[in-house]
């Protein structure tokens, strides 16, 4: 039950872009050095964000990446769903329909559904701007 490096690195990349958000394009190399992540690996992550138009990219000299929106307009949920593929904690909750044959009488399904909602609500309630400003989440969302 782990968030993979893809998702974690993507969030760090977005924070880095937000912290260095001065209108210019930022080369991936700069981000890779600051974040101590292989540029080549980061490249595969940034391409997902770029293709989905979360980022604007420019090739060639003076090129790089920059945010397409303001930091407060990116939820962590939207970034993780993209880079992790899905935030569903069980595969039967992925996609539109549940095609599990046991679904109709499954004793555990409601628990997974509740958990799925909790995950998505939690990460949709946090923006990149929140992470840059350094809010503390460890005591929030007491259940």
Residues that bind a copy of itself (CB under 8 A): 1-4, 7-8, 11-12, 15, 36, 76, 84, 86-91, 102, 107-108, 110-115, 117-119, 121-123, 125-126, 131-132, 134-143
Question: What's the CA gap between 73 and 126, in Å, rounded?
Answer: 10
Nearer of residues 42 and 127 to DNA, judged by Cβ: 42
Q: Quick one: which of 17, 36, 1, 8 has its CA closest to 129?
A: 17
Residue 78 binds: one of a copy of itself, DNA, none (C-beta under 5 to 8 A by kind)? none
Question: Kind and range of the H or E element at 81?
Answer: helix 76-84
Integer angstrom CA distances of residue 49 from 58, 76, 84, 119, 132: 14, 12, 12, 21, 19
Question: What is the pattern of x (binds DNA, CB under 7 A) and - over residues 68-107?
Answer: ----------------------------------------
Question: What's the CA gap between 112 and 123, in Å, rounded?
Answer: 17
Residue 74 binds: one of a copy of itself, DNA, none (C-beta under 5 to 8 A by kind)? none
What does R_g of the chain's alpha carbons equal in angstroms?
17
Dihedral pair phi/psi, residue 65, rounded to 5°: -130, 150
Q: Is 58 in the site for DNA (CB under 7 A)?
A: yes
Nearer of residues 58 and 111 to a copy of itself, judged by Cβ: 111
Per CB under 7 A, residues contacting DNA are 2, 4-6, 26-29, 38, 40-41, 43-44, 46-47, 50-51, 57-65
């Amino acid at each position: 039950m782990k968030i993979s490096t893809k998702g974690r690195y993507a969030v760090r990349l977005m924070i880095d872009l937000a912290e260095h958000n001065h209108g210019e394009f930022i080369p991936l190399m700069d981000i890779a050095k600051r974040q101590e992540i292989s540029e080549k690996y980061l490249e595969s992550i940034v391409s997902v964000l770029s293709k989905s138009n979360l980022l604007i990219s420019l090739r060639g000299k003076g090129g790089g990446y920059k945010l397409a929106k303001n930091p407060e307009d990116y939820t962590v949920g939207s970034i993780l769903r993209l880079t992790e593929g899905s935030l569903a904690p069980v595969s039967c909750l992925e996609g539109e329909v549940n095609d599990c044959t046991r679904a109709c009488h499954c004793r555990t399904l409601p628990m997974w559904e509740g958990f799925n909602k909790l995950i998505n609500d939690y990460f949709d309630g946090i923006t990149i701007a929140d992470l840059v400003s350094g809010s503390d989440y460890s005591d929030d969302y007491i259940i």
